[in-house]
Structure 1
Amino acid sequence: MSFYKFVTSIFRGFSKILFKYEVIGLENIPNEGNVVLAANHKSNLDPIFVAAAVKNRTVAAIAKKELFNIKPLGYILNKLHVIPINREKPDVSSIKTILRAIKDGYVVGIFPEGTRMKGPEFGKAKPGLSVFAIKGKASVVPISIISNYKLFNKVTIYIDKPISFEEYFKEKLTSEDHERLSQNVLEVVKENYYRH
């Protein structure tokens, strides 16, 4: 068993024992092809809940680079295929690493808002989601994490159908275009969050 599968099985056990953990729509994550997961972010538990939910693919999450400065957390994050990124100004090498991960068959997990947004409110989507999806020729799967994060309470992971960005693969898009497209995905995440 790989280190990734071992750790995600622990995540799964943790989620099911300590929360009423439910995943809806797992069949919406394609078994193959280029895929980016886009989820809301309200707690440090969110990456664990998403990794626990996805059984058919290996998730390479994107996380702030500061986390990699904490030993031995940085070592573990590397072993779990987590990709460090400068949230304020992503550098070219980070972007290339993310695109390579998509090409290599990993499902890249991203929080479009770029940071945690506590409470029921949502932030604005950053352009990164759209940039990675279009440059990586990937479809985007919206994921809504619905929880109050209190122990033994309900956690619902609602996975919606993939959104195709194919019509934009050959377009020249501005940063504003990418922001708008990222926000469109976040609106789907929000709608499912409030509905479920």
Structure 2
Amino acid sequence: MSFYKFVTKAFKCFVNIFYKYKVIGAENIPDEGNIIIAANHKSNLDPIFLAAAIENREVAAIAKKELFKIKPLAYILKKLNVIPINREKPDISTIKNILKAIKDGYVLGIFPEGTRIKEPGFGKAKAGLSMFAIKGKAQVVPISIISNYKLFNRVTVYIDKPISFEEYYKQKLTSEENERLSQNVLEVIKENYYIHSK
């Protein structure tokens, strides 16, 4: 068993023991093809909830480069396909690593808001989601993580159908246009969040 599979199995045990954990729409993650998953982000538990939800593909997540300064953590993150990124200004090599992960068959995991939004509600989507989807010729799967993050309470991971960016593949978009397209995905995440929070 690979390290990735071992860890995700441990995550599944953890979420099922300590939360009323439920995944809706797992069939919306295609078994093959270029895919990005995009989810809301309120807690450090979110990557665990996501990794436990996706059983048919390996996820390569993007995380802030500061996490890689802690050597033991950096070792584990690399083993789990996590790609470090400078959130303020991603460099060319990072972008190439991200696009290579998509091309190599990993499901790329992104939080469109770029950081945790601790207060109620949602932040604004960054341009990166749209840019990676278009450059990586990937469909985007919106995922809503619905939880108050308290032990033994409900956690719902709602996975919606993939969104295609194909009409933009040959266009040169501005940063503002990429932000708008990313925000469109975040609006789907928000809508599903509020519908399934009831």
TM above 0.5, one fold? yes
Whole-angstrom distance in 2 between the partners of 1:16 and 1:119? 26
Matched, 1:56 2:64: no
CA offsets, 1:35-87, max 9 Å, x none?
00000000000000000000000000000000011120000000000000000
Whole-angstrom distance in 2 between the partners of 1:191 and 1:183? 12
The residue aligned with 1:11 is 11
Whole-angstrom distance in 1 between the partners of 2:172 and 2:75? 38
The residue aligned with 2:82 is 82
Amino acid at match of 1:4: Y
Which runs of 5 or more residues in structure 1 are unaligned?
Answer: none
Matched, 1:68 2:68: yes
CA offsets, 1:120-161, max 9 Å, x none?
310000000000000000000000000000000000000000
Whole-angstrom distance in 1 between the partners of 2:163 and 2:21? 25
The residue aligned with 2:131 is 131
Amino acid at match of 1:117: I
Quote the offset at 1:118 in angstroms: 1.4
Amino acid at match of 1:43: S
Whole-angstrom distance in 2 between the partners of 1:176 and 1:167? 17
Among all aligned residue pairs of Structure 1 and Structure 2, give the percentage whose two residues are the same amino acid: 79
The residue aligned with 1:91 is 91
The residue aligned with 1:32 is 32
User: How large is the RMSD of aligned CA atoms in angstroms?
Assistant: 0.5
The residue aligned with 2:147 is 147
Whole-angstrom distance in 1 between the partners of 2:97 and 2:16? 32
Whole-angstrom distance in 1 between the partners of 2:13 and 2:188? 29
Amino acid at match of 2:125: A
* Runs of 4 or more above 6 Å deviation: none
Quote the offset at 1:27 in angstroms: 0.2
The residue aligned with 2:115 is 115
Amino acid at match of 1:21: Y
The residue aligned with 1:192 is 192
What SS does the corresponding residue of 1:140 show, helix, strand or coil? strand
CA offsets, 1:81-104, max 9 Å, x none?
000000011111110000000000
State TM-score, norm by structure 2: 0.98
